[in-house]
Amino acid sequence: MTRYKLILEYDGTDLIGWQQNHQGPSVQSLLQDAIKSFCGADADVVAAGRTDAGVHATAMVAHVDIDGGYGPDTVMRALNFYLVGRPVVVLDCAVVPDDFHARFSCRGRHYRYVVLNRRAPAVLNKNRVWWVPRELDVDAMERAAEKLIGAHDFTSFRASQCQAKSPMKTLDVARVTRRGDEIIFEFSAQSFLHHMVRNMVGTLVEIGLGKPFDIDEIFAARARSAAGPTAPASGLYFIGADYATADA
């Protein structure tokens, strides 16, 4: 068995998310089908982050074990051949040590969230952004985002179905910048709770619209109802995962 690290781009619009189940095509099931077509084996592809339905990735990291001693270029070409026309593509493939684990070895995860802030709805970036037609106060959002940084109990930003044992997380980056009609949110942490990014964005957008949310009070409340709504999946991108140099 050889372990391969894969870098993946995907359009989550028509997918049920990362995780395979019987409800429809997932990133994992499309990849596992491609591997089965390539070498006939039932593989288990493991990702750094199990994104939800509608969420995209520009650089999801995953690993998979395949028999046969194929070179990484062969694996990449073969998977992309069987993925033609599907919303998933392999950007890079490398052989990694057997103890590399896309999920458990991951030291940092990076997300981007894109809001389209203009009066007219999205056409060219349909399903790629969250359209917010009312004017947003980027400075107020940026000030609030700074308060999210650090080690906190993120219970107020956690989905009710979140399975993590602890609500304590350390957010390393929380940044809000305007680029033309788009407002870009960037978040980095070793790991995130379920819906944490979308709940932070939903809250920051309420603040940008002038709602009197206070991040310190939201943290203190430790209740999902204290924060803003969950931002739609369409604006969210998994954009990278970090590993120790020896692993990757």
Tell me the catalytic residues.
Answer: 52
Q: Which stretch binds a copy of itself (CB under 8 A): 28-36, 114-122, 168-176, 228-236?
A: 114-122
Interface with a copy of itself, residue 56, by CB under 8 A = yes
For residue 63, the cross-strand partners are 5, 46
Smallest separation (angstroms) from a copy of itself to the CB of 95: 17
One of 3, 50, 128, 194 touching a copy of itself (CB under 8 A): 128
Q: For residues 83 and 148, which CB has a smaller minimum distance to a copy of itself in the complex? A: 83
d(CA 61, CA 127): 22
> Is residue 71 close enough to count as binding a copy of itself by CB under 8 A?
no
Q: 2, 96, 81, 85: which is closest to 48 by C-alpha?
A: 96
Q: Are 157 and 227 in contact (CB under 8 A)?
A: yes
By CB under 8 A, is residue 10 in contact with a copy of itself? yes
DSSP 104-153: TT--EEEEEEEEE-SSSPPSTTTTTSEE--S---HHHHHHHHHHH-EEEE
18 belongs to the binding site for a copy of itself (CB under 8 A): no
- Centre a 10 Å sphere on the Cβ of residue 92 and count the other Cβ atoms it contains: 12
**Any idea what DSSP says for residue 11?**
-
Q: Does 151 bind a copy of itself (CB under 8 A)?
A: no
Contact 64, 48 (CB under 8 A): no
46 vs 89 by CB, closer to a copy of itself: 89
Output the smallest distance, CB 52 to a copy of itself, in A: 17
CB of 214 to a copy of itself, least distance (A): 35
Which residues of the shown chain bind a copy of itself in the complex (CB under 8 A)?
Answer: 9-11, 56, 58, 76, 80, 84, 87-91, 118-124, 126, 128
